[in-house]
Amino acid sequence: MDRVGERFDGLADLVAGGGVAVLSGAGLSTESGIPDYRGPSGVARRHTPMTYQTFTGDPVARRRYWARSHLGWRTIARAVPNAGHRAVADLAAEGLLTGVVTQNVDGLHQAAGARSVIELHGSLDRVICLDCGFRSPRAELDRRLRERNPWFEAQVTAVNPDGDVDLADERIDAFRTVDCAACDDGTLKPDVVFFGESVPPDRVRQCFAVVEAARLLLVLGSSLTVMSGRRFVLRAAKLDIPVAIINQGPTRGDDYATHTVDAPLGVALPELVRRISREPAVSSSP
């Protein structure tokens, strides 16, 4: 594979022209300590994510999820943006982006300073009641769970991509969950889209609008394995909007891309920003 710098000449020209829609995936956050499902940090884990059907239909599985997630959330909450997130924020600050659509649920784009971020799959820092619809901060739930389970501590060696950790069954069996504080007995769920659950239609329409208004779709750190993200690449291709992909490893969108770079995002994106910053301004008209 060519060195990163040698792959950026044409891509830097495209991005410098502005009107860029960013679609980001888990590969952007791996350098912040959050693993992905399919990239280099996720392959060894063989983690099976929680499905919506299991979460809502099995109280035991739901308790298991909350016990694991109660510990895993602390790792997610402590994560900080890496050089890739900061580079995206730099591109936004230069007025080059039409918006950011992220498949991530960690809030690191916003923490880095990016604005106009659409969280396609929601965010782990919020909780929703499945009965009354009330949303509350994850920090508040964390406080309530600590009070209910003051004994519950464990050494976390690694967090899974959806924010939970692996625990022994005997520790999970003793864990006690809490219900919605607004309606007293509603079932709480992280305000994220689980596997087997549909993204709200209005949110999908917002994401399509960002892509359709762009002159370039820049995919960052996504294997595009599932249709949830790949559909935006397909829409861009249908509208003859160029697609550029920066990711570690091949993706299911490579056949639609005019530019591909196989490299860590924390290396590639700062290099892209550096190249753009020394170029003269380019008209953003199509």
Q: Is 249 annotated as a binding residue?
A: yes
Q: Is 29 annotated as a binding residue?
A: no
Q: Is 180 annotated as a binding residue?
A: yes
Q: Is 106 annotated as a binding residue?
A: yes
Q: Is 248 annotated as a binding residue?
A: yes
Strand order in the sheet with 122-129: 135-137, 122-129, 188-192
Q: Is 53 annotated as a binding residue?
A: no
Active-site residue among 70, 85, 109, 121? 121
Q: Give dist(CA 189, CA 79) in Å, integer.
A: 21
Q: Can 121 be counted among the known catalytic residues?
A: yes
137's enclosing H/E stretch is strand 135-137
Q: Give dist(CA 96, CA 284) in Å, integer.
A: 8
Q: Is 105 annotated as a binding residue?
A: yes
Q: Is 192 annotated as a binding residue?
A: no
Helix (H), strand (E) counts: the chain: 10, 9
Q: Give dist(CA 224, CA 189) in Å, integer.
A: 26
DSSP conformation letters of 172-229:
HHT------TTTSSPPEEEEE--BT-PPPHHHHHHHHHHHHT-SEEEEES----SHHH
Q: Is 82 annotated as a binding residue?
A: no
Q: Is 207 annotated as a binding residue?
A: no
Q: Give dist(CA 242, CA 216) in Å, integer.
A: 5
Catalytic (active-site) positions: 121
**Which residues sit in the known binding site for NAD(+)?**
103-106, 221-223, 247-249, 265
**Which residues sit in the known binding site?**
103-106, 129, 132, 180, 183, 221-223, 247-249, 265
**Which residues sit in the known binding site for Zn(2+)?**
129, 132, 180, 183
